[in-house]
Amino acid sequence: MKVSINKDLIVYEEEGEILLINMRKNTFHSLDAISSIIWRKIEEFKKITDVIDYIYENSDGEKNIITKDINEFVLYLEKIGVLRIV
């Protein structure tokens, strides 16, 4: 699964946390430290399997749980209009 980031989005980062601001919808969403790491990898890789592999290789988590959690996070981001699954 690949994703495309909304072009109306402004990404603001401070002290390890990210704020996603949708200029068209006039909404914002705050990401905690863990979600911010995943967001940075989504921006870098664009391919969710690569994000999952990166998180798995750099954590002590089980791959099936990491896969489930990241897929749910991506679906949430799509639902709120931050990115689009392509």
Give me the CATH number covering residue 64: 1.10.10
**Structural domains of the chain, count:** 1
Can you give the pLDDT at residue 43? 95
Q: Is 57 exposed, middle or buried (0-12, 13-18, 19+ CB in 10 A)?
A: exposed
Residue 81's domain comprises 3-85
Can you give the pLDDT at residue 15? 84
Q: What is the mean pLDDT of residues 1-7?
A: 94
Instruction: Output the pTM of the full model.
Output: 0.90
What gap in Å lies between CA 18 and CA 12, rounded to an integer? Answer: 6
Q: What is the mean pLDDT of residues 50-75?
A: 97
Tell me the per-residue pLDDT of 13-62, one tens digit each, with 9 for 90 and over: 988 789 999 998 899 999 999 999 999 999 999 999 999 999 999 999 99
